[in-house]
Amino acid sequence: MLDAPRPFLDVSRSVTGRAWIDRLDSTTTRTAGAIAQRIGVSEILARVMAARGVGVDGAESYLEPTIRALMPDPSTLTAMDALAERMARAIADSESIALFGDYDVDGACSCALMARYLRHFGIVPQVHIPDRIFEGYGPNIAAMDKLIDAGATLIVTLDCGTTSDKPIAHARSRGADVLVIDHHLADHALPEANALVNPNRPDDISGLGYLCAAGVTFMALVAINRAMRQRGDTGLPDLLKLLDIVALGTVCDVVPLVGLNRAFVVRGLEVARRGDNKGMAALALASRISGPINPYHLGFLIGPRINAGGRIGNAALGTELLAVDDEHHALSIAARLDELNTERQRIEVEAVEEATAVAELEIGTGEGPSVLVLASANWHQGVVGLVAARLRERFERPAFAIALHADGTGTGSGRSMPGVDLGSAVLKAVETGLIAKGGGHAMAAGITIKPGQLGPFRSFLADTLATDVAAARAASALKVDAALTARGASLDLVRDLERAGPYGSGNPGPVFAFPAHRAKFAQVVGKGGHVSFSLVSEDGAKLKAIAFRAASTEIGDALLRGNDTSFHFAGSLGIDHYQGREQVQFRLLDLAKPKA
């Protein structure tokens, strides 16, 4: 029988209304002790590992994940051998190859990986990234015609294509071969491509459905390398040098950081820190990153700038940047993407303010709808995914934000929470004719609606997902890994904890509670409404702290009104690199009043 969740610091209701529970039960607590004893790590690190399912026997290898140990034979993916052989033949014959990618970071990374690989053999492929607004997601007939008219005999779709029956059939009718590398769910029979590699296709039993498209593309490159070697080719590219691009796609597509994905990111960060990719190095400079590149930088600084091109500018800029070798050209593209990102932030802030106000009215004083589905003619189509993410974070439920067009149609994006499969719900809505178009995966989805479909779609999601959302919200208690003090939160501790990372989806970052500490010097900083403060322990030790986007929330009110008041604090630890100086920073997630 499983243990009942154990309360942490006796917090049953925090300032945000959440309970705090111990992430470890009695079994994982014993496992943590055994890990610490067996491999000689700290008790804190052992607790973090055990709480994430690491056993005693696998603990040592967990701290040193390798591609060699964790990547299966690419041939386990359905149709991989056929795809690799067709690509090898195209390379050997110097065919004219075209790449068709998605306009997000994962698509840009996938296209850049393939473009760099082909350039090694002297093949400069055509690259087409669709315009988000005028073309929409995935291959279209006009774009296929354009690529074929320019000479392409082989078209490779990356991070798209699984649901593109008509465009693929059209391309093949004109004599071009089409290969698909994707990871999105399929809502019907697969298109008649020459080969379609997707770990989420119904007949694939590889168990690799958690990979993003860049991860699948990397596996395809391994298979192509093998096919080229079997043909007698030598001087093949060193694929490990491309892992920085794979890591970027993996982090930004918010796929689970477990197994092979975790190895991709750990090893990819090592490559990124060498600065070999001129485009990524230029974007790190434009992002004003200080210190070694880490997952936060990939997900929140570099990734959004690449996405900015696809959201409100030239969708091809991200792929071009990641594939470029000329440093001056890289700096020029990075500067443009940085400008677009600044504009994107302005557009996003305005849309989020409107969406938040509408959501607060819709929820009112009760529980409100289980899924938020909001629409506005004021929202830019390129930022609806970001608006949905902010709504999901603020109101703790799945959310859709839909940009309405002059003709009454709408283009929207949804973001979900663990335990609620948004992609499957959207596919059901498409199958039943409730919406015109849609797809995605468990945590994110995109849709197109026609006039009159908004209300029925909203009702369908509420009925379909209500039970799962209720269960997910009930399980949303804050899970705490251990208790610390401000004095104990040292640089050595944070560096030690990084060994169990990278943290993110599927491998949650450690959360620590700081009992009976005080917040001093709280103030609002930055354009995002962040609240900075000092976390002070009873013995006077201070820890630099920040609560992101908290100014107008319960947390922000408690900090700003309760300066020097004793609270239990819960949050994560990181290293702040400012002006060459390293300092531990506490990132507040929640706080609670100690019981008398």
Place of tokens 């599927």: 506
| CA dihedral angle for residue 373, residue 299, residue 161, residue 120, rounded to 10 degrees | 170
- CB of 589 within 8 A of CB of 570? yes
CATH of domain 20-24+478-592: 2.40.50.460
Domain residues of the chain, as ranges? Answer: 20-24+478-592, 69-273, 367-474
How high is the pLDDT of residue 2?
52
Cβ neighbours of residue 223 under 8 Å, at least 6 residues apart? 74, 75, 80, 81, 83, 84
What's the rounded Cα separation, in Å, for the pair 463 and 457?
Answer: 10
- CB of 280 within 8 A of CB of 272? yes
pLDDT in tens, the chain (596 residues): 456 678 999 999 999 989 999 999 999 999 999 999 999 999 999 999 999 999 999 999 999 999 999 999 999 999 999 999 999 999 999 999 999 999 999 999 999 999 999 999 999 999 999 988 888 889 999 999 999 999 999 999 999 999 999 999 999 999 999 999 999 987 678 999 999 999 999 999 999 999 999 999 999 999 999 999 999 999 999 999 999 999 999 999 989 999 999 999 999 999 999 999 999 999 999 999 988 999 999 999 999 999 999 888 899 999 999 999 999 999 999 999 999 999 999 999 999 999 999 999 998 877 889 999 999 999 999 999 999 999 998 898 999 999 999 999 999 999 999 889 999 999 999 999 999 999 888 888 999 999 999 999 999 999 999 999 999 887 778 999 999 999 999 999 999 999 999 998 889 999 999 999 999 999 999 877 899 999 999 999 999 999 998 998 899 999 998 777 899 999 999 998 877 789 999 999 999 999 85
pTM of the full structure: 0.89
How high is the pLDDT of residue 1?
43
**Parallel, antiparallel, or unpaired for β 437-441 and 444-449?**
antiparallel
Tell me yes or no: is domain 367-474 CATH 3.30.70.270.
no
What's the rounded Cα separation, in Å, for the pair 356 and 360?
Answer: 6
Structure tokens at 220: 């395809």
SS3 374: strand
**Parallel, antiparallel, or unpaired for β 512-525 and 566-578?**
antiparallel
| CA dihedral angle for residue 168, residue 170, residue 176, residue 177, rounded to 10 degrees | 30
Angle 461-465-468 (CA atoms, 0-180°, nearest 5)?
A: 165
Any long-range contacts for 493-498 (C-beta under 8 Å, 24+ apart)?
493/42, 493/44, 493/573, 494/573, 494/574, 494/575, 494/584, 495/575, 496/41, 496/42, 496/44, 496/45, 497/44, 497/45, 497/48, 497/573
- CB of 583 within 8 A of CB of 575? yes
Listing DSSP states for 428-482 in one string gives HHHHTTSSSEEEEETTEEEEEE-TT-HHHHHHHHHHHHHHHHHHHHHT-PEEE-E
How high is the pLDDT of residue 186?
78
What's the rounded Cα separation, in Å, for the pair 154 and 168?
Answer: 11
What's the rounded Cα separation, in Å, for the pair 208 and 206?
Answer: 5
How high is the pLDDT of residue 10?
95
Fold of 69-273: inorganic pyrophosphatase (n-terminal core) (3.90.1640)
DSSP for residue 294:
-
Q: Phi first, then psi: give them for residue 516, nearest 5 degrees.
A: 50, 50
Choose among 20, 128, 7: nearest CA to 570.
20
- CB of 145 within 8 A of CB of 167? no
Phi-psi region of 235 (alpha: psi -120 to 50; beta: other; left: phi over 0): left
